[in-house]
Structure 1
Amino acid sequence: MIRKIISQLQDFFGISRKEARGALVLIILMSFLIWTPFVFRRLILPHFPIPFTEKKLNTQKLDSIVAELNKEAPEKPGFNNYEKKEFSKKAEKPIRLFPFDPNTASVEDLTTLGIPEFLAKRIEKYRSKGGKFRKKEDLLHIYDFPASTYKSLEPYITLSVSKIPVNSEKPVFTPDRKFADVPARGNNYVKPALVPFDINTADTTQLIKLKGIGSKLSVRILKFRDGLGGFHSTSQFSEIFGLDSVAVTELNKYAKIGTAVKKININTATVEELSSHSYLRNKKLANVIVNYRNQHGIFSSAEDLKKVKVLDAVTIEKLVPYLAY
């Protein structure tokens, strides 16, 4: 019977026989610990009742303590003040709609308009990092900004952002043009405009040009990308730890997917290769996949991965673009 249970544990969890034995011992120990208090209260404790005299003494002692407290209570003013004290709920700030510019409105103005305080602070942080609202719809680029709130505020949004003039006299470099002909850099110098780039081949020098991304974040983005084998969708940017709405907006605007991702052959990959992937950082999880493959044969599709019980549907969905069979 024990062998049968061990075999079932192996098939269910995709683990080795040694690990299945350990799991069985752990289950038995946990069952013992869970049931011990119940058995003690139901079967053992009733055989050791508290003597009547002791019970009576305890009751008398409690009664004397209560009488003592009741006697002292009137003598001490405010003895029960804490219990009787009523705490009034913080009054909710009334919502008032009025014309506002999201580029200049204060946190207090935004909360008065019905925007939650955490979103109002997020808008202020976005502006402090150089972010600008050039269209009314740009408010929806703020992470978690409710569409219903935007709909009610849209008629009251007024924007006064002036467009940056384009310098038509910006020098153009040609192979046969002399350096003497190029006008000296002065107050009229315009910073070169950012151009879209391939995120799967980009380096830190390209990333740190974007708003909200410094040297540390740029290294983290590349580390996450290399662990994946490349980005297959811009929606993956929001999975990178530490990126705020400003950085994600900038990446969505300039970082494009121009190179195919590097795939892993799920039927030949080692535990080390699997655990190095950004979606499979758990070495034990990679070990279960390899053990299951060794016991049940190769994987022919993503449907076969669903048979590995420790893999949830979300992880499988994320892995699919990176797997080869």
Structure 2
Amino acid sequence: MFRRLLYLIQDFFGISPREARGAFLLIIISFIALWTPTLFRHGVLPFLAESPQVVHPVTLDSVAATLEATSAGPDEPLEAVGPRSPATAARPVRLFVFNPNTASPEQLQELGVPAFLAKRIDNYRRKGGTFRRKQDLRRIYDFPDDLYQRLEPYIQLDAPLPTGTSETTAAIPERKAPTTLPAEIKASTRPVVVPFDINTVDTAQLIRLRGIGSTLSLRIVRFRDALGGFHSTEQYSEIFGLDSLALSELHRYARVQSGVQKLNINTATAEELNRHPYLRNRRQNEVIIRYREQHGPYQTPEDLKKIKVLDEKTINKIAPYLAF
């Protein structure tokens, strides 16, 4: 099972077996780091809350002395002093229409938002964050779903201004900047895609194709480099994650104009064979090397058919990348 997961990671990212093991370890660490806060919140904290806590008498005396020093003045007895801080007093919950982009932390607390969440929302806005939709409020970390359901009918956001306008120009309709461009201008600004060599192209050129973004373009380049180059356009369908649009764009513009980098089957080590996408089976590669050591160098791809662990389909796929 573990070895199959490593093969899937190698095929997906187009990396070597050693890099695949490192990527798998990184995925495990990321998964643990992602779920540790949730497990701690739902598993450890309730247990600690239910367990009895023993407080030392000296600690109680120091806390009482601190409260007396901060609450009562020099001539005012402690018993006559009530709660002064609004943070310690329970705030009455009152629901009213509000804008999360402009509401103050005090107003948010009046709506029933905890103080730490109100401060977190305020920090988010100070760093340039904006709530464009009501659902964006849920993006605040640890925002309760039941609280959002209670506040959702009272959230009122400002209507977004048209592109190219500001708050001062929005009040003057005759000076609004046009929100759309004429069709002829749009056509002139669209980048022109010309046919290219798939074995030398970079990600910037691939991104210009429809249906191919930064992730797919990087995956195409990595798969190409792991292969040693494409020898046929039929290999495009082997790239993981390509839909029909991206595949049609590759067949339309990507040409196979340069040769592939070949692997010498008579001198390659097991590690070098393992790095090729068509030779992921480590045990199979060890058999190839042992047969070569016992019977001498391979002369043609037909010699590989003498090895029972290799089927004809695998031999036909790997043959264009082998040197004898």
TM-score by length of 2: 0.42
